[in-house]
Structure 1
Amino acid sequence: MQRQPKVKFEQVKVIKGGAYNKHIILADANVPSKLSIDRLSNTLFFCINADEFSDQSFHLVVLDLDTGLNAIIPGIQNGFASAVEPEGAVYLGGSDGIFEFNYRTFDVYRPAILSGVDIFDMYFHKYLYFVETATQNLFVWKNGGKTSIKELNGYGIQHFLLNNFEDILFVNSSGVYMLRKGTTIPITFGGASTVAHFRGMTADINGLPYLIAQDGIYTIDMAQRHVVKTIPMENIFGLAFDKDNNMVYSDERSVVKLIRQHNPVFVNKNF
């Protein structure tokens, strides 16, 4: 069922000397997380926790970042993960497999692309990559079949992405790693990588990777092989970058967009 937009405009915030206008695009959401975005239409996909009266644990939601209009996507059992091709094709994963979704007609295409598996995380880079919940192994969907990324079997992958060089960056319970393209053994990152509680990974429109943690947003210093906190923020659950490279993030109850201001009249440093 589609809901009316709930958009609020708050005072200017500060991030590392830059002023940003904080727009609350969606309020009263139940722990929105696992954000992915179609930049062609500025449409966001994410999961929320189902309420106590539901027969499911999670639902997938579609949100128009320009209007605030949003709706729960029906027909995906325990919808949890999503991924978007640059051309706009949308893939949704839940406890019954992976489905393609047309949000213009609001149709979930059947049969499933891949059925009988529980999907934990997904990312699209030339092909669709995904993590199965049961094994926490990484696979790629290619030429109508799934193939294991065998170099990473047993690493217990929780979150991942591919960068512009097709290296695989990933998080597991022991830290942050990267498998360079053409190699067989991942390298590790120091700094906060072993102590932060990471909740996801994403990339901006330039392909630069970011990590989402309970206490803020992190980037990776490739030269020093360190994970570095760049934006301290409490209780952040998801992150994406829209078509203009504005930061879109979620906390326990809302989805927020930060828009850079060039001549702010009022500055409030508290998030």
Structure 2
Amino acid sequence: MNSFQHHPVKQIRENTRRQVILADVNIPYKFSLDRSKNHLFFCINADEFSEQSFHSVVLELHGGSTTIVPGIRNGFASAVDHASGSVYLGGSDGIYKYNYQTKDVITPSLIGEIDIFDMYFQKYLYFVDTANQNLYTYKNNKVTIVPELKDHQILHFVIDVDDNIIFVNGAGIHILPKGEKSAILYDNRNINIRGATTDINGLPFFIAQDGIYKIGDNMELVKILILENGYGLAFDKDNNIVYSDERTVNKLIPCDKY
């Protein structure tokens, strides 16, 4: 075994340095990263003078410029199709495609009259509705519930490189293996997980209030980074970790890049 497997937290801490990309932002959450353009999509809590609770934000990772997407109400969730470069944004009124030229959503919405809580793209678009916490697919302009999971309430989810669906709810972390009819409870520890994603290799990672976790070589849940108040998580084109706490967006840069 290598040192990462023995002491993953120690290795991450010693071999990387934190770069603050965006500071003084109000709970950056629900990360999706367009690696082809190096743009991070996420939501923030709106200020007290706004008519909305959330805003969708676009952050250019290299330059640090930010834009609030104006055409979506309570923009919250996001997903990126890395093959085509399409970006999807979900809010109180449904799901929209993002237009880089106008820096706004394309209207009308792809899916309307549904509040979106979480999204992920793997071959096609998956999303969770806020009201019932069910998981759906959007394929060929048709919305279909994932039947194997219709009895599970889902908060966060991700699809890994093997097309397994990994999801989080109040009972813990569950896995629906590809082709199976029922999900397996993977870990029922009381970990306050706030998001799930995959790295550039399609391996699943989770961000919790107390840190970042991965599924280890022996299928155990391993903490790789300690955080005081984690919220959002993504991986850039070089597989660097991009994460947030309640006030900053950060990137972990390998020490040899300094």
Matched AA of 2:232? G
Pick closer, same or farther for the CA change 1:24–1:175 going to 2, 3 Å.
Answer: same
Residue 238 of structure 1 and its aligned partner are, at CA, apart by 0.7
Residue 17 of structure 1 and its aligned partner are, at CA, apart by 5.9
Residue 201 of structure 2 aligns to a residue in which SS? coil
Residue 18 of structure 1 and its aligned partner are, at CA, apart by 3.6
Q: 1:233 aligns with which of 219, 224, 227?
A: 227
Q: 1:218 aligns with which of 213, 216, 228?
A: 213
1:238-266 deviation line (CA, Å, top 9, x unaligned): 111111111111111110111101387xx
The alignment status of 1:146 with 2:140, answered yes or no, reads no
Residue 53 of structure 1 and its aligned partner are, at CA, apart by 1.2
Residue 137 of structure 1 and its aligned partner are, at CA, apart by 0.3
Residue 223 of structure 1 and its aligned partner are, at CA, apart by 3.7
CA contact (8 A) 1:21 1:261 kept: yes
What residue in structure 2 maps to residue 65 of structure 1? 61
What residue in structure 2 maps to residue 268 of structure 1? none
Residue 189 of structure 1 aligns to a residue in which SS? strand
Matched AA of 2:112? S
Equivalents in 2 of 1:199, 1:22: separation in Å?
Answer: 20
CA contact (8 A) 2:164 2:178 kept: yes
What residue in structure 1 maps to residue 169 of structure 2? 172
What residue in structure 2 maps to residue 267 of structure 1? none
Residue 22 of structure 1 and its aligned partner are, at CA, apart by 1.7
CA contact (8 A) 1:197 1:213 kept: yes
CA contact (8 A) 2:13 2:225 kept: no
Equivalents in 2 of 1:77, 1:17: separation in Å?
Answer: 38
Matched AA of 2:236? D
CA contact (8 A) 1:129 1:141 kept: yes
CA contact (8 A) 2:78 2:120 kept: yes
Equivalents in 2 of 1:84, 1:141: separation in Å?
Answer: 14
Residue 151 of structure 1 aligns to a residue in which SS? helix
1:168-193 deviation line (CA, Å, top 9, x unaligned): 00000110000011111111213xx4
Residue 221 of structure 1 and its aligned partner are, at CA, apart by 3.2
What residue in structure 2 maps to residue 52 of structure 1? 48
Residue 15 of structure 2 aligns to a residue in which SS? strand
Higher helix share: 2
What residue in structure 1 maps to residue 3 of structure 2? none
Matched AA of 2:55? H
Equivalents in 2 of 1:147, 1:222: separation in Å?
Answer: 34
Equivalents in 2 of 1:232, 1:261: separation in Å?
Answer: 18
> Structure 2-normalised TM-score?
0.92
Equivalents in 2 of 1:39, 1:15: separation in Å?
Answer: 25
CA contact (8 A) 1:58 1:79 kept: yes
Give me the CA root mean square deviation. Answer: 1.6
Equivalents in 2 of 1:17, 1:254: separation in Å?
Answer: 18
1:179-209 deviation line (CA, Å, top 9, x unaligned): 011111111213xx42100000011111111
Matched AA of 2:91? G
Equivalents in 2 of 1:130, 1:60: separation in Å?
Answer: 16
Q: Identity over aligned residues, as a percent? A: 53
Pick closer, same or farther for the CA change 1:177–1:147 going to 2, 3 Å.
Answer: same
> Structure 1-normalised TM-score?
0.88
What residue in structure 2 maps to residue 248 of structure 1? 242
Equivalents in 2 of 1:263, 1:101: separation in Å?
Answer: 32
What residue in structure 1 maps to residue 5 of structure 2? none
CA contact (8 A) 1:15 1:231 kept: no
Structure 1 stretches lacking a partner, 5+ long: 1-12, 265-271
